[in-house]
Structure 1
Amino acid sequence: MDSKYSIIDKNKSNVSESSPFSLKRKFSYGSANAVPQAKKPHLSNVPKLSNPSPKQNATQNGTVTTKTAVDNIQTQRKQLPIFAVREQLLRYLQKCNTLIVIGETGSGKTTQIPQFLLQIGQDAIAVTQPRRISAISISTRVSKELKCKIGETVGYTVRFEDVTSKKTKIRFMTDGSLLREAMSDRLLLQYSTIILDEAHERTINTDILFGLVKNAQRQRIALNKNPLKIIIMSATMDVDHFSNYFNNCKTVYLQGRTFPVKIMHVKEPQSDYLHAVLSTVFTIHQTAPPNHDILVFLTGQEEIEGMAHQIKAMIKSNSLKGPTLRVYPLYAQLAQNRQMDVFVPSAQNQRKIILSTNIAETSLTISGIKYVIDSGVVKRRVYDSKTGMDTLKVKKISQDQAWQRCGRAGRESEGFCYRAYTFKEFKQMPTTTTPEILRSNIATTVLQLMSLDIDCRKFDFIDSPQPQSIELALNQLIALGAVSSGKRTELTEMGRKMAKFPLDPKYSKILLTAPSYGCLEEALSVVALLSGEEIFINNIHDTDRRGDALTAHAKFENEFGDHLTLLNVFKAYVKTERPKTWCHENFLNTRNLAYAQEVRNQLKEICNRFDLEIASCGNKFDQLRKCLLSGLFINIAEFQQRDNHYLTLTNRQRAKIHPSSVLSGKSNAEYILFTELVATGKTYMRTVTQIDPEWIDEVIPNIQQIKKLFKIADGS
């Protein structure tokens, strides 16, 4: 395909001229900063802490080196833009109980502000991050700057891992970890300062923390306790909205250090964004200098593993010209040591290609990235409060996300961003990402708040969910036995135990019910597997190997469905002495099975705290299926012979069994359980298990009342 780049002025939408360029894809060409002036928040009344910004190159996590590559880490710190305004910023940090910091990309806010606070006497500082890789990598960097071992003055806390000690004064942590601490200490008394970083991402956990820390600050003043300082940080946010919420608090603006990024849009809409992305990867590789690395944004693990396989196949075929290629996946469920591999600089005459989900959008600075290829989509769980169903969908990103992705190419030097969507499609994207709490099932949120004795209907949300969503969440918790029904909705004893598990309430219910069916040993394994990513490798392009994979997977199939098939795989996995080899031979994902084993161990510890009997049901699979029914009964579906579809029991949603299921294409069971709905062109049920209809009244005696609850929530 011939190619011409149309140069688009970043402040205008018209094409001004054309210039030839040899690429297989047609792109529109523009030059813009990673965060252009038009995208900066409204700052007319915000103090701007300005400083001279000599042109220098950045390194990992916002630190910089001059062109002579200064090795001294303290010198690197002093070259950060934030260091030039340190004294001004310290005055704001000292006098303000609550402060919003808008820090441009590369300003150094995330690594330096916690250290500045330490210098003014704040010695118990929590810094939240939306993702574990950010918490770990940033804490590692800050510990080096403070010349201490990780876990001493600086540490981190993420799900199932706490690397801190009594000496720790700066604790980087996921927002979920701080939320779990708040469940046992509502005033968060162990902290003198809480920094909520990447506030613009608006995860459910962060939105809850906004309300909790705001209330903790107020209550600590009222009770004459040690005051709590709150700092909200982001590169971009609705300043007025946040300032109003935090009692009209002060806002300061930090200039950053980003380099120009040339932005290219495809000229025509792409029906296959994966093909567009892959062809762009190869074209860049064959034309760009060595050690100019590429960061690709995709939707999830399956896409990433599939593209990694294709690239590696091309490498093995020796059909690629150019420097040696190394491919690195990056997604949330990837083992921690594999995630950290992306930070290792490329060797001489090599090129690194990182295939990532939106995990790399913020906080992370990966050394060597010169090119970003943006698919323009993200995989997002969307909740329909009318049907009560969670559905996994591939959705367009927001303009804010597009700018964040683009900015990854401008951290060290001038860069390039290739967007697999047209400029018109970009302009049609929503400006900001819808907060997660407004598009998700909030049953877990409601359970967490109720465990803190907070009425979710009266909680001080920065953006309140729809009343219908709250009522539906309450009805789900009532159905699960976590909340009492009646005029006063209160947590039951079951509900208080469920809140202690870092799980969806329906999975917590399965574990707490399992001892009565004598199958907690098996239930732990199944729930751990459901908490992670797909363990079967199905995205295989070679026809012969695809057949080998189907044969290997068939060995584990259970006639009753997918949950028991997963259990068979896990049982075999824990018995093997060579797990990597065994997984390779059976076309199974080693990383995801290892993650499930780690999660299972942690869930078992929680069960031991409750003195739950960990027994095995052996081959009495009916016991395990009944146990699964106790938590997944909202996800029952009934077969309809007239149109060869299933209807979900609580809301009459039409769906089919997903083709990946062991039950797909086989005799249709009258009733099944499913784990989730997936919407592509059609609606499919994933991870399904056949159940006996007689069990429904036995296991869920109030099923008719439950169906009535959901009809009320639906307004019907």
Structure 2
Amino acid sequence: MSDFKPRFLKPSDTSSFLDRNDATLLESTDFVYNRHLSQSIQTQRQRLPIFNNRNHILYLLEKYQTLVLVGETGCGKSTQIPQYMIEAEWPAQIGICEPRRVAALSLAGRVADETGSLIQSDTVGYAVRFDACTNKPKIKYMTEGILIREMMSDPLLKDYSAIMLDEVHERTLYTDILMGLMKKILRRRRELRLIVASATMDARELQSYFNNNTTDDKKKDTSVIMSVHGRQFPVDTYFVKEPVPCYVQATVDTVLKINSSKESGDILAFLTGQEEVDRAVRLLREHANAIEAAGKKETFTVLPMYGSLPYHEQLNVFKRTLDGFRKVIIATNVAETSVTIPNIVHVIDCGFVKMKWFNTETHTDSLMIMPVSKASAKQRAGRAGRVRAGHCYRLYTEDDFIKLPDTTPPEMTRSNMTYVILQLKALGIDNILKFKFPNPPPVGNIKSALEILYALDAIDIDGELTKPLGFNMAEFALDPLYTKILLTSAEFECSEEVLTIISMLQVETIFAKPSTGNSAVKARVQKRHFEVEEGDLITYLNIYLAFVQSGYGNDFCHRNFINYKSMKRVVEIRARLGKMMSNYGVPLVSCEGDTEAVCKCLVTGLFPNAVYLHYSGVYKTVRGDIELHVHPDSVLYTIPQPQWVVFCEVMHTTKLFMRDLTVIKSEWLLELAPHFYHKTVVKDY
């Protein structure tokens, strides 16, 4: 496979993807423009496509309550509109919601530079999970989950004069929730303004959704559509002639082929997850080191980009490289929208994305690698046309592209609704079925979520949040299953250990996976030093304790083939979760090596994910009778398989694989989840 080189066939149509018709611009009104910035920054701002529409945007925000803005990524909508509003002396805070953490952080930094202020100052700030500003800046970038939690203490968002929902076309779970909540808030607060911004979306549908006066012919519309062109150059698109056997290896080969050509410009490649990104980065760095050692001119530097990467390392993709080096970025779909990386000329699209799908029978999310939609493929290709004419190399055939779905299904229609319902209940929305979602979730998903919340003791038989457990769980920025484990851990006298385990589960990859056979064997041997028969979660606990004893050293991680970046992130998360537990009165105590207490505590939250070993030799879910298999990376894969286990997630590749397993006893399910399980006797005649 190392000799494989994908051949690309250029299609007949290579026109620009993101051409749009201009919406009719309404009469403009002049506003005072404060020229307090340096000339260079002003010049950069004025070059953005959105600058010519500044007065039109401010006029529409004065006249209409909701502005549906169709603006391509890179036009400047996310950074400039909040500044225009501050310059026009809008009162109170302006909140900008981003679907991804990296987007909120990078945009806040960009605006801080443009306004000549410090980040987290009175002018610009950000708030993301486990990291929020304590003051009230005029411009506040945040993730969508943060705004939902703010609504719990301020249901009408009285601290804000305007809210901007950015990148709405991604249709994440929180995006749909926020649109439904903002629709209710706008009816109560006529002075509040909402900006719904996106690069690709059905603007007419959203305008109709937010138009609160459509039933009264005497009143004018409260929402309006505006379109802003981006700085888009032509993008030539290439497809492979034949399907590639391994898109990760094909990505590596394509990067090397582009790098050996005379084509200049940086490269951005899309893969599905952290594990694939790290693998591709490792292979490419080996080639880069060999090229540099040979003294060749085709030198390049390789950088990863994914959501769980530490913030200071995410910023590396925006920095200029050394003279003579080409920048190669290997990213997940976090770089598909929201973030514009400068100087990208070549894009490589693997054609797949990792998505969650909820199974109402097993009450679990399955992590599935699926083909991208046409809209996502066009977004990826559009990354190449920001600075000059670009190229997009698709690692799938043109016939396969035609068969792709037009859009990605909204996350609301394919996700676990447990956390959604918990937060909506905390916001005072009792009847979930009457809540006006843009795309209503399946009734089966709602029914499953209510059942799990009742078994978790988060809601009572009437569907009301319990006090204090239900309300406390709603305020935690975690999956309710993990939150229940944390909040009840003191009862089992193992809160220190559980805090560590839950923190370890918040990062995607703990173990480094070498590509060469000899190193892979060594990595497996080193992993054995931490493995225990209780399962993966207790193994994670051992790894963290050893990491702490080593002084949080990089040498320890390198020696044991552990991802140092992930472990640093675990330390940060653990510290923040520990503070939250203290705020809720949960004392941090240690079980002093009593692993049974830890495993029993884990069952208090993970009981919906229980499986048993069927006489046929495979695991089956207690409810739903779905066949599952132990993931090859699990510590339980190579030992005699225990009778009962609980898992944290399901991954669907060739089969349904369980990941992050813990061995349990069946009687714990009856003891700790009596509302969810009951014992029956089946007689065979």
TM-score by length of 2: 0.92
User: How far apart, CA to CA, are the structure 1 residues paired with 2:237 and 2:418?
Assistant: 41
- Quote the residue 1:252 is aligned against: 226
Structure 1 residues 163 and 452, CA, compared in 2 at 3 Å: closer, same or farther?
closer
The alpha-carbon distance between structure 1 residues 653 and 349, as it changes in their structure 2 partners (threshold 3 A), is same
- The reply on whether 1:549 has 2:523 as its aligned counterpart is yes
Which residue is 1:181 aligned to? 150
For residues 103 and 203 of structure 1, what CA distance do their matches in structure 2 show? Answer: 19
Aligned counterpart in structure 1 of residue 67 of structure 2, from 95, 99, 102: 99
Superposed displacement of residue 694, structure 1 = 2.8
CA distance in 1, matches of 2:624, 2:440: 25
Match of 2:53 among 81, 85, 89: 85
> Following superposition of structure 1 onto structure 2, how do residues 680-691 of structure 1 map, counting pairs within 5 Å?
680-691=653-664
Q: Summarize deviations over 1:260-292 as a string: whole Å, max 9, x none.
A: 1111111222232223222111110000345x1
Partner of 2:254: 280
Matched, 1:165 2:135: yes
What are the superposed Cα offsets for residues 613-632 of structure 1, whole Å, 9 maximum, x if unpaired? 21110111110010001111
**Structure 1 residue 479 corresponds to structure 2 residue 455:** yes
Partners of 1:28 and 1:423 within 8 A in 2: no
Q: Which residue of 570, 585, 594 maps to 2:559?
A: 585
In the alignment, does 2:194 pair up with 1:230?
yes
Task: Give the 3 Å change call, closer, same or farther, for CA 450–607 of structure 1 in structure 2.
Answer: same
Unaligned runs of 5+ in 1: 2-21, 52-69, 222-226, 708-716
| Equivalent residues of 2:6, 2:250 under 8 A apart | no
CA deviations on 1:551-577 (whole Å, 9 max, x unpaired) are: 211111112111100000011112222
Deviations 1:352-388 (A, max 9, x none): 1000000001122212211000001011111122442
The answer on whether the counterparts of 1:676 and 1:687 sit within 8 Å (CA) in structure 2 is yes
Q: What CA deviation, in whole Å up to 9, does each residue of 1:396-429 have, x standing for no partner?
A: 1111111111111111111111011112211111
Q: 1:428 to 1:407 in 2, by over 3 A?
A: same
Q: Distance in 2 between matches of 1:400 and 1:161?
A: 32
Instruction: From 646, 651, 663, give the equivalent of 1:678.
Output: 651
- TM-superposed CA distance for 1:687, in Å, is 1.0
> Offset of 1:121 from its aligned partner?
2.3
- Bigger shift: 654-663 or 70-79? 70-79
* CA displacement, residues 127-154 of structure 1 (integer Å, 9 cap, x when unaligned): 1111111111111111222222222211
**How much has 1:33 moved relative to structure 2?**
4.7
Letter matched to residue 513 of structure 1: T
Letter in 2 for 1:116: Y
Task: Give how far 1:252 is off.
Answer: 0.9
Aligned residue pairs, count = 654
2:126 to 146, 152, 156: 156
Whichever residue aligns with residue 207 of structure 1, its letter is D
CA contact (8 A) 2:358 2:415 kept: yes
- Residue 706 to residue 173, structure 1, CA distance change in 2 (3 Å): farther
Distance 1:198 1:257, change over 3 A: same
Cα separation, 2, equivalents of 1:170 and 1:74: 18
| Rounded Cα–Cα distance in structure 2 between residues aligned with 1:183 and 1:705 | 36
Quote the residue 1:654 is aligned against: 627
- The aligned runs of 1:102-117 (5 Å cut-off) are 102-117=70-85
SS in 1 for 2:304: strand
Query: Residue in 2 aligned with 1:73?
Result: 41
Q: For the Cα contact (< 8 Å) 2:6–2:240, is it kept in 1?
A: no
Specify whether residues 82 and 541 from structure 1 end up closer, same or farther in structure 2 by C-alpha distance, changes over 3 A only.
Answer: closer
The share of aligned pairs that are identical, in percent, is 39
Compared CA separation, residues 105 and 316, structure 1 to 2 (3 A): closer
Residues 30, 263 of structure 1: 8 Å contact kept: no
Aligned to 1:28: 10
In the alignment, which residue of structure 1 is the partner of 2:182? 213
CA deviation profile, 1:9-38 (whole Å, cap 9, x unmatched): xxxxxxxxxxxxx9752333456355344x
The one of 390, 395, 406 equivalent to 2:381 is 406
Measured after TM superposition, the shift of residue 122 of structure 1 is 1.6
Tell me how large the CA RMSD over aligned residues is. 2.2
Matched residue, 2:437: 461
How big is the shift at 1:204?
A: 0.8
Q: Given residue 459 of structure 2, which amino acid in structure 1 is its aligned partner?
A: V
CA displacement at 1:234 relative to structure 2 = 0.8
Query: Whole-Å Cα distance in 2 between the matches of residues 349 and 30 of structure 1?
Result: 34
Q: Structure 2: which amino acid aligns with 1:158?
A: V
SS in 2 for 1:655: strand
Instruction: Give the Cα–Cα distance (whole angstroms) in 1 for the partners of residues 6 and 653 of structure 2.
Output: 28
C-alpha distance in structure 1 between counterparts of 2:295 and 2:154, whole Å:
57
Letter in 2 for 1:251: I
Letter of the 2:529 counterpart: K
CA contact (8 A) 2:343 2:386 kept: no
Shift of residue 74, structure 1, vs aligned partner: 0.6
Change (3 A) 1:706 1:425: farther
In 2, are the aligned partners of 1:450 and 1:491 still within 8 Å (CA)?
A: no
Determine if contact 1:33/1:258 at 8 Å carries over to the other structure.
no
The 1:684–1:320 alpha-carbon spacing in structure 2 relative to 1, beyond 3 Å, is farther
Contact 1:328 1:355 in 2 (8 A): yes
Aligned with residue 385 of structure 1, among 360, 379, 383? 360
Measure the CA separation in 1 of the matches of 2:669 and 2:199: 51
Structure 2 unaligned segments of length 5 or more: list them. 29-37, 212-220, 681-685
Hey, what's the Cα distance between the residues in 1 that align with 2:153 and 2:576? 18
Question: Hey, what does 1:441 align to over in structure 2?
Answer: 416
For residue 321 of structure 1, report the CA deviation from its aligned partner.
Answer: 4.8
The answer to whether the 8 Å contact 2:490/2:587 transfers is yes
Cα 1:558–1:50, aligned 2, differ >3 Å: closer, same or farther? farther
Deviation at 1:106, TM superposition (A): 3.2
The 1:196/1:274 distance shift into structure 2, 3 A limit, reads same
Deviates more, 1:324-333 or 1:360-369: 360-369
Check conservation: 1:49, 1:254, Cα contact below 8 A: no
CA-to-aligned-CA distance 1:591-632 (integer Å, 9 cap, x gap): 111111111111111111111121110111110010001111
Could you tell me which residue of structure 2 aligns to residue 644 of structure 1?
A: 617
State which of 327, 335, 357 in structure 2 corresponds to 1:352. 327
**Residue 121 (1) aligns with residue 89 (2):** yes
> Closer, same or farther in 2 for the Cα pair 1:326/1:577, shift >3 Å?
same
Q: Which residue of 1 aligns with 2:214?
A: none
Q: Alpha-carbon deviations, 1:270-319, whole Å to 9, x = none?
A: 232223222111110000345x1100000011001111111112223347
Deviations 1:667-692 (A, max 9, x none): 12111111111111111111111112
Name the CA distance, whole Å, in 2 between partners of 1:479 and 1:288: 62
Paired letter, 2:247: Y
Task: Please tell me whether the aligned partners of residues 140 and 150 of structure 1 are also in contact (alpha carbons under 8 angstroms).
Answer: yes
**2:217 counterpart residue number:** none
CA distance in 2, matches of 1:531, 1:24: 36
Q: Distance in 1 between matches of 2:648 and 2:664?
A: 13
Residue aligned with 1:440, SS: coil
CA pair 398-549 structure 1, distance change in 2 beyond 3 A: same
Distance between the aligned counterparts of 2:263 and 2:242, measured in 1? 28
Q: Are positions 1:622 and 2:596 aligned together?
A: yes
* One-letter amino acid matched to 1:440: S
Given the two structures, how large is their TM-score scaled by the length of structure 1? Answer: 0.88
Greater shift after overlay, 142-151 or 439-448?
142-151
TM-fit CA distance, 1:516: 0.8
Q: 1:594 aligns with which of 552, 557, 568?
A: 568
Residue 700 to residue 384, structure 1, CA distance change in 2 (3 Å): closer
Alignment match, 2:24: 47
CA–CA distance in structure 1, aligned partners of residues 377 and 610 of structure 2: 39
**Per-residue CA distance 1:212-266 (angstroms, 9 max, x = gap):** 1221221234xxxxx2111111111111211111015111111222111111111
Letter in 1 for 2:443: P
Q: Please identify, of 405-414 and 85-94, the stretch whose mean Cα deviation from structure 2 is larger.
A: 85-94
Contact 1:286 1:320 in 2 (8 A): no
